[in-house]
Chains A and B, each alone.
Chain A
């Protein structure tokens, strides 16, 4: 018996312990509701999902990507090689132990990077506690095992090998102990989460951003207690590695509202356990006091529960956390599920949301305004009703922004552009109900379903080729969420259509240099629908000097206008649009181009040193008008 074979045996023993712990962890997910999971496809897809989809996210932080590749790769390779040392023909093979030594050396470098990131000062986004001890255990296991391997290669049989064995055993045992409720849980839960992900489409190239319809026939609507979550959602919460990328991306957190996506997921991961481990990361800003009791059948949301209601109502559903999460956790789904119970069972919605929800239900319009008044913005412009034409090429979906003066200007510009480009367009007019976006994000699935079915019935009566809208929220709902209710449409955002018309030459644009400009991506266009190129192509056709904010494209920051946040109105220390406007100003831009009525309203509400807020349609119309010589017939 030498140190090397002893290490092999220790690793086998640790693997058995690991399996026992893993079973214990997995049994806790059993409290969740059943979910249909394609296990064979999921398990087979783990390597691809890990190496492609997860890596795509992790690699945005190259240091973390290298760190993880070295530590995890070295850990698996080194341990596997060491166990191979038990196979008789390989036992005592120097080549084998040389390979193992290389693997553990690589792992040690990774472990060192884990430590380097946390010592001497730990970044605010990273958690402390067991996470802070993790590099010590990693270095212990890797370093000890390296000594053993070196000892086996160089045939020292000295005390160094035995010392290494002791250190490696202690480190390895410490790591296994961190499996159930510590940092190492992410490895096991994370791998299974990739296999049993509730949205497998995410890995197949789909955007998979549509909310999943709630079962309105269920005895209890939404999620009240952890046991109401499907088991693979509980698994997803356990996959969290507390890297804090979501926390950095979250606009509500930045604004000092009581939401921290990382803490939320940790609360949810603790919610179905009787004694969850202490959380050692940054808290909810202005954290409200809660009782902090957990258990599979205990309520999750409430001052007497685990998560304060203000936390779930602070979310703008911008999906920045989901976009940043290397563990593919679906934060927004969880928040909407929690909201659904609050709204549909308890009627416990923020005061400001009561009126929009009631009006959505009884007037089919969240502002309670007459549906026929939606077209008032277009006074004097030709705005044919599809009811009179019967069919058209492009059906213009106006959305609730049409009632606002600001977005009315955008829509007037858009209608004028359609007219000039000779598009055969029409509107639903008084037959257009609200698309239901606000009701759905506020958790009122019943009202959303009523609105969706009514709109789908209306749209079914007319013939049109595609739906055009200047509201990314409506676009997302019509394009991605109505299919679940039987409405399948080709929906195009005005940025894409205008880009198409400019490319075809149907809109002649004149370069209208107007100083420096930056484009603010709407969440529901960029992150939810992946459309970040068309608006930029369109802006570049205008001959403007376009600069990018640090956060742009799919990693853009929310304006604060989504998810019903403006009506829920949970107070923060700052306002989200102020933060975003400051980012726009930091680029030196004179103008910030928007493509969404919410963004326009939120950013225009900023006071002080601001950039001018112009919608793409307004900018394009200015360029088209500049292209027409003075006095020439239009």
Chain B
């Protein structure tokens, strides 16, 4: 079993100094839980940030040298084809600079591999990857995917290892030229972040102030039932009914 972790040219969000992206470090920790053979892959001009990952448990880093502004995709795809890993892990979203967060998806498309986004736990058995995916509000979904596959790692994954200078020193970097892929000046515009207004349910036009307030402040949930001090039988029946209504459980036997 061989795992490859994609590394980006990360920057610390506050200091702006070269720093590994948190989810990529968590990806290293997840991969090391599966196999000893974990390497990092970075394509770009300067590997200063990617190198820091060596101190967080990565033994080997493959650096594909590219001129500033080139598309890393062809280099990454070629390196992955050459290394033939079973699993490729990446961070979840763009961190700094001109990063788009799309590379894992484009890679999956180019390689023809399945991609599971936002994983928090991984296990492998008989060439099948079982990935737990994080969904909003703490929900989790289990995927079973045939290897090779690509996953992106969610911040809710187990914490990454701290930096150990001893590991950083013993890790080594393999430097090779990448595949030049100049991009056709898709100019990126940089704007300060502006929080977007929160979407709130709007009451029908002409509704009273009280109705508008209610619509704005009440969550439009699926509702539910409040049972005060029910008997265990009643409570169990209500839970079963609810689960059947959601389709989690099969309809009660004896009913169609």
Contacts and interface: CB of A to CB of B under 8 A. Distances in A.
A446 B15 CA distance: 19
Interface stretch (A21-29, A235-243, A357-365): A357-365
A370 interface: yes
Contacts of B96: none
B240 interface: no
Given A364-B15, A368-B14, A370-B15, A216 B165 contact: yes
A446 B165 contact: yes
A349 B165 contact: no
Residue picked from A345, A362, A444, most chain B C-beta under 10 Å? A362
A347 B19 contact: no
Interface stretch (B37-45, B155-163, B172-180, B242-250): B155-163
A137 interface: no
Contact of A362 (B17, B57, B159, B164): B17
Contact of B160 (A345, A354, A362): A354
Interface in B1-49: 12, 14-15, 17-20
Given A363-B14, A368-B14, A357 B19 contact: no
Interface in A214-264: 216, 220-221
Residue picked from A343, A344, A349, A364, most chain B C-beta under 10 Å? A344
A291 interface: no
A586 interface: no
A458 B19 CA distance: 22
B92 interface: no
Contact of A344 (B52, B159, B165): B165
Contacts of B232: none
Contact of A345 (B12, B14, B164): B164
A353 B162 CA distance: 8
B163 A357 contact: yes
B164 A447 contact: no
A100 B14 CA distance: 76
Contact of A347 (B15, B18, B56): B56
B40 to A, nearest CB: 16
Interface string A356-394: 011001111100111100000000000000000000000
Residue picked from B57, B160, B162, B163, most chain A C-beta under 10 Å? B162
B166 interface: yes
Interface residues of A, number: 26
A221 B55 CA distance: 14
A220 B167 CA distance: 10
Residue picked from B12, B160, B167, most chain A C-beta under 10 Å? B12
A357 B162 CA distance: 7
B183 to A, nearest CB: 29
Contacts of A365: 15
Contacts of B159: 351, 354
B167 A361 contact: no
B17 A354 contact: no
B103 to A, nearest CB: 22
A212 interface: no
B161 A347 contact: yes
A154 interface: no
Nearest to A354: B162
A205 B160 CA distance: 45
A303 interface: no
Contacts of B17: 362-364
Contacts of B166: 220-221, 344-346
Interface string A88-132: 000000000000000000000000000000000000000000000
29 contacts: A216-B165, A343-B164, A344-B165, A344-B166, A345-B167, A347-B55, A347-B56, A347-B57, A347-B162, A347-B163, A347-B167, A354-B160, A354-B161, A354-B162, A358-B162, A358-B163, A361-B163, A362-B12, A362-B17, A363-B12, A363-B14, A363-B15, A363-B17, A363-B19, A364-B15, A371-B15, A444-B163, A446-B165, A447-B163
Interface of A: 216, 220-221, 343-347, 349, 351, 353-354, 357-358, 361-365, 368-371, 444, 446-447
**Ordered nearest first, which 5 A-B pairs have the shortest CB separation?**
A362-B19, A345-B166, A347-B164, A446-B165, A363-B15
